[in-house]
Amino acid sequence: MRGPYHPDLYDVARWPESWWRASAPPPPPRPPLEGDATAEVAIIGAGYAGLACAEALAGRGVDVVALDAGEIGWGASGRNGGIVGLSSDKLGTEALVARFGEDETRRYVESQVEGARRLRAFCDAEGVETQGDAEAYVAHTPAVFERLGKWREARWGVEASLLSREAYAERGYVGPEQHGALIVRPGFGLHPMQLAQARARAAERAGARLHPRSEVRAWRREGATHRLETARGSIRAGKVVLATNGFTPDGLHPAFDGRAMPVLSMIGVTRQINQAEMAAHGWREDAPLCTTRRMLYYFRMLPQRRLLFGMRGDLDGSAASAPRFAAHLRAHMARMLPEWRDVELEHFWRGPVCMTRAYRPAVGRLPDDPTVFHAFGWHGSGVNGAAVAGRLLAAVIAGADEATIPAPWRGLPPRIPLPGLRKVWLGGMLALYRAKDAMEAR
Ligand SMILES: Cc1cc2nc3c(=O)[nH]c(=O)nc-3n(C[C@H](O)[C@H](O)[C@H](O)COP(=O)(O)OP(=O)(O)OC[C@H]3O[C@@H](n4cnc5c(N)ncnc54)[C@H](O)[C@@H]3O)c2cc1C
């Protein structure tokens, strides 16, 4: 695999060490694709989106195969923060209503609320570790707190309650950038690797075939069908789903070239925090937290009393630069949680989230080839949304109208101009966001 970052990031033999890998069993052995095979539907990418789509298709009796370049959970689905939230866009509800109307926006929001409830039930049934019953948006300035109530309004199944700085301190966290919080439900934390593995089991139980270590290197049309080629085999399928998100390669299918903007995010997990240290930050919160900065921080106290701290990553991605960026992350963690500045990180890893030029996900079928489908662009919030999209897409493949996909998600985003310069555009955008955050903090 290749992409805009260092080749190490795309090397499936380099599966980043993480708390999630250390605390979950290795995936059971599954064979790569060997020889020539056929399927009604072939899915490229076996993360939450591809696996949910495979499970839903197989459940409808469709012969489906999902291929992944790495092991199950190698992609973002095995290395994220495990925060279950309600939006996979960067536009916000008001902008979506203005553009797509109230009905379509409501359908989108309700699909996320329903998705979060369904995900919780799935985790409970499959023994996936979950935690908390909300997501907290922590205001990083008093001025932002004043506007916070508008962020996630309590409508369309979303519950939202605003807590002052004092009330949130009472609930569970004190820090220099805590100026009150919005508590949103449904929301929770989960173990992402356990979830990826459970989704793979569920897809296989339904009848899907999964082949890890099977990177699709070429995609050709053969009359009415598609031929996907891997290093050791190939598959002929009537329909293809692209579910590669932050790893979406240019050069595989021309319709997708230059559509995805992968942005690195990085996570550190500390050693266990002791009771005295917990008390120093008044920590009682078991829900995940996100700050309101544009360059946001996200953090959770895991059930094992280890802090998971995440933030936007670097523009490099090489294995050699990991210690440098782990130190960088630790400095940011100390800014938010100064009492824990000496608490060591035991795990550090990175991975790409996927943005688009439309600032919203891209779910649907190609207008000029109704046998090609896609689901990507979760903007760093796909633990819930990617599976919702996988199921919506399965219904469309099985015959439902494409309009069953809520309009804010439907279609392809515009291409990124001169996609070879993605990192330059991104560097500029991040600098702008940092400047705006700094101005807001003054
Ligand atoms: C560090 C980090 C923290 C995050 N934290 C959160 C969070 O707390 N909450 C949240 O909601 N979201 C979070 N996200 C985002 C979330 O993980 C993703 O949105 C979600 O996992 C996307 O699922 P997916 O199935 O679309 O993609 P992925 O899980 O990335 O799966 C795509 C797969 O495609 C495969 N692939 C690519 N090219 C090919 C090819 N040519 N052939 C075969 N396979 C291929 C890759 O190997 C990969 O496994 C985070 C992401 C990262 C990286």
Using one digit for the tens of pLDDT, what is the confidence trace for 330-363? 999 999 999 999 999 999 999 999 999 999 999 9
CA of 273 to the centre of ligand 1 (A): 29
Residues 6+ apart with CB under 8 A from 16: 79, 349, 350, 351
- The alpha carbon torsion through 7, 12, 16, 19 (nearest 10 deg) reads 150
Flag whether 11 is in a domain. Answer: yes
In a domain, 62, yes or no: yes
Q: How far apart are CA 309 and CA 349, in angstroms?
A: 11
170 in a domain, yes or no?
A: no
Does residue 240 have a pLDDT over 90?
yes
Q: How far is the CA of 378 from the centre of ligand 1 (A)?
A: 9
For the segment 220-235, the average pLDDT, to the nearest whole number, is 97
Q: How far is CA 331 from CA 174, 314, 323, 334, in A?
A: 18, 14, 13, 5
Give how many domains the chain has, as a whole number.
Answer: 1
- What are residue 20's phi and psi, to 5 degrees? -65, -40
Q: Is residue 24 part of a domain?
A: yes
| Contact assessment for residue 396 and residue 402, using Cβ atoms and an 8 Å cutoff | yes
Q: Whole domain around residue 217: which residue ranges?
A: 7-80+193-261+357-420
**pLDDT tens, position by position, 174-190:** 999 999 999 999 999 99
Integer Cα distance of 48 and 387 in angstroms: 5
Mean pLDDT of the chain: 95
Residue 277 resides in a domain: no
Pull the structure tokens for residue 157: 């199944």
Distance 165 CA to ligand 1 centre (A): 34
pLDDT given for residue 367 in this prediction: 95
Q: Measured in angstroms, how far is the CA atom of residue 73 from the centroid of ligand 1?
A: 8
- Evaluate if residue 152 carries a pLDDT over 70: no
Checking if the pLDDT of 442 tops 80, the result is no
Is 315 among the domain residues?
no
Q: pLDDT tens, 48-105?
A: 999 999 999 999 999 999 999 999 999 999 999 999 999 899 998 889 999 999 999 9
Residue spans of alpha helices (H) in 6-127: 19-22, 48-59, 93-100, 102-126
Helix (H) or strand (E) holding 193: helix 192-206
> Looking at the predicted structure, is the pLDDT value of residue 44 above 70?
yes
* Dihedral (CA of 235, 238, 242, 248) sign: positive
Mutate to test the pocket of ligand 1, among 311, 378, 409 (most ligand atoms within 8 A of CB): 378
Which atom of ligand 1 is nearest the CA belonging to 73?
49
**Does residue 242 carry a pLDDT above 70?**
yes
Task: Write the pLDDT tens digit of every residue in 92-118.
Answer: 888 999 999 999 999 999 999 999 999
pLDDT score for 426: 84
Residue 297 placed within a domain:
no
Please say if the pLDDT value at position 409 is more than 90: yes
| pLDDT of 428 over the 90 cut | no
Q: Is the pLDDT of residue 423 over 90?
A: no
Q: Give the mean model confidence (pLDDT) for residues 145-154.
A: 78
Chain-centroid distance, C-alpha 121: 19
How do residues 360-406 score in pLDDT, each as one tens digit?
Answer: 999 999 999 999 999 999 999 999 999 999 999 999 999 999 999 99
Confidence of residue 193 (pLDDT cuts 50, 70, 90): very high
Which residue is listed with tokens 């009604």?
A: 40
Residue 272, pLDDT above cutoff 80: yes
Provide the total of helices (H) and of strands (E) in the chain, helices listed first.
11, 19
Asked if pLDDT for residue 265 goes beyond 90, the answer is: yes
Measure 77 CA to ligand 1 centroid, in angstroms. Answer: 5
Residue 44 maps to which CATH number?
3.50.50.60
CA-based nearest residue to 173, from 271, 291, 270, 84: 291
Work out the average pLDDT over 32-50. 98
Measure the CA–CA gap between 77 and 387, rounded to whole angstroms: 11
Q: How many Å lie between the centroid of ligand 1 and the Cα of residue 352?
A: 7
Asked whether the predicted pLDDT for residue 163 surpasses 90, the reply is yes
Our mutation pick for probing the ligand 1 site, out of 80, 216, 309, counting the most ligand atoms within 8 A of Cβ, is 80
Q: Give kind and range of the element (H or E) at residue 309.
A: strand 306-312
Residues with a CB atom less than 6 Å from ligand 1 = 1, 44-45, 47-50, 67-70, 74-77, 79-83, 85, 215-216, 243-247, 249, 252, 265, 267, 298, 310, 351-353, 376, 378, 380-384, 386
Tell me if 321 is assigned to some domain.
Answer: no
